[in-house]
Amino acid sequence: MPHIELESHLPGITGLLEYRKDTGQPIRELTQILMRGSSTLTEGERELIATIVSHGNQCRFCTTAHTAAADLLLGEKATTRAVKEDIESAPVSGKMKALLAIAKATGKNGKLVTPQMVERAKAEGATDAELHDTVLIAALFSLYNRYVDGMATAMPDNEAYFDTLAERIVHHGYTRLPQGYDHLKQ
Amino acid sequence: MPHIKVNEDLPGIRSLMAFSPETAAPMGELANLLLRTNEGLTMAERELIATYVSYLNDCFYCQHSHGAIVTCYLNDHNELVNQVIKDLDRAPVSDKLRALLHIAGSAQKGGKFVTDEQVKTAKRFGATDRDIHDTVLITAAFCMFNRYVDGLASQTPTDMSSYPLRARQIAERGYGNHIFINKQPVAEEQQG
């Protein structure tokens, strides 16, 4: 049960962003810029970063949601599974391996990102903007993971919820739905 | 040395915000909404939570930046931050704030570390749902800011006298793009 009273039809992060809409707005905006704004990293690659960080922070809601979003964007489920198991043997580019390692370290603590890890990413072709965005996405999901679990938000009743959520994240993005979320009430 | 090329005249998160002003805008807005209100928790109490979390994350720049803001709000009474960090259970803060700081300390480790018991204690001492929400979100936000600052190895000023000067800027004008667009503050005797 959540630590505070939240709307029961909104599990995970959505209930929190609706609880205090004013703080929800810049959190949504930051996410939209980082995850859907112009970038040389694909949306699928950015969702992989969100997935690996949420997985490292053991946040079940966020991991399931962003795995579903990454799967939808990549058109298969093998990559997310492999990345969560072992970055180095996963079927992603050398640059993505280096960036995912940086993201995973950042998720634990920023100080764990070493100059060697950064050098490796640069040698694989990562730009300063890509390094910046990787670290900030990892930092942002460290916020989300603590917000969602620190308030003990509910998991949805059925797994199909995440398919709908992934569709929304991929096709609509991270901004608030203009009509709100009352249509999700049973 | 920072991991990416940023303006070397700017310290910590200010250099990163200048590197990426588009993402800086919502981060500044979030900081204002969470830290620049006295609703339920005072601005000093909110900054104290931010300072405590930054200390637990071992982020020197954020800890000392926000510690200096607390001191600024408390009319230069600079003992409280150290007392909270050294021994939270004996620090001279209200029982409500102490309970909330314990929640912050747990959420810093990971959201799941916050227990029902901790929340019950905070509520018994008068914490509202909104206070608990804000405590957890301030903690989560500083887990973001701390990782951003340290994950890119942004420059940490070693001149401790510079922290109160930057703190005064925040106390007077709040968060926002002015902290990296305007010239960085210098002590009066260093000017001219």
Distances (CA, A) of A155 to A5, A13, B167: 15, 10, 40
pLDDT of residue B190: 58
- Has residue B33 been placed in a domain? no
pLDDT in tens, B135-179: 999 999 999 999 999 999 999 999 999 999 999 999 999 999 999
In this complex, the residue of B4, B136, B144 whose CB is nearest that of residue A140 is B144
The count of structural domains within chain B is 1
Question: Do residues A54 and A146 make contact, with C-beta atoms less than 8 angstroms apart?
Answer: no
CA distance A121 to chain B (A): 11
- Has residue B190 been placed in a domain? no
Q: Which residues of A touch B129 (CB under 8 A)?
A: 4-5
**Boundaries of domain holding B141:** 40-172
- Has residue B24 been placed in a domain? no
- Has residue B34 been placed in a domain? no
Residue A12 has pLDDT above 80, yes or no: yes
**Cβ within 8 Å, pair A132-B152:** yes
Q: Which residues of B touch A139 (CB under 8 A)?
A: 143-148, 151
- Has residue B28 been placed in a domain? no
Q: What is the ipTM of this complex?
A: 0.97
B156: domain CATH number is: 1.20.1290.10
pLDDT of residue B191: 53
Question: Do residues B13 and B154 make contact, with C-beta atoms less than 8 angstroms apart?
Answer: yes
In this complex, the residue of B5, B110, B149 whose CB is nearest that of residue A128 is B5
The answer for B 115-134 residues in CB contact with A (under 8 A) is 116, 119, 129-130, 132-134
Residue B109 near chain A (CB below 8 Å) = no
- Has residue B9 been placed in a domain? no
The answer for B 47-76 residues in CB contact with A (under 8 A) is 57-59
CA distance A100 to chain B (A): 13
Question: Do residues B35 and B138 make contact, with C-beta atoms less than 8 angstroms apart?
Answer: yes
| Contacts with B159 (C-beta within 8 Å, 6 or more apart), sequence order | none
Residues, chain A: 186
pLDDT in tens, B99-119: 999 999 999 999 999 999 999
Residue B137 near chain A (CB below 8 Å) = yes
pLDDT of residue B189: 63
* Residue ranges of domains in chain A, CATH in brackets: 42-173 (1.20.1290.10)
- Has residue B52 been placed in a domain? yes
| Contacts with B105 (C-beta within 8 Å, 6 or more apart), sequence order | B52, B53, B56, B88
Q: Which residues of B touch A102 (CB under 8 A)?
A: 151
By C-alpha distance, the chain B residue nearest A108 is B147
Question: Do residues A125 and A89 make contact, with C-beta atoms less than 8 angstroms apart?
Answer: no
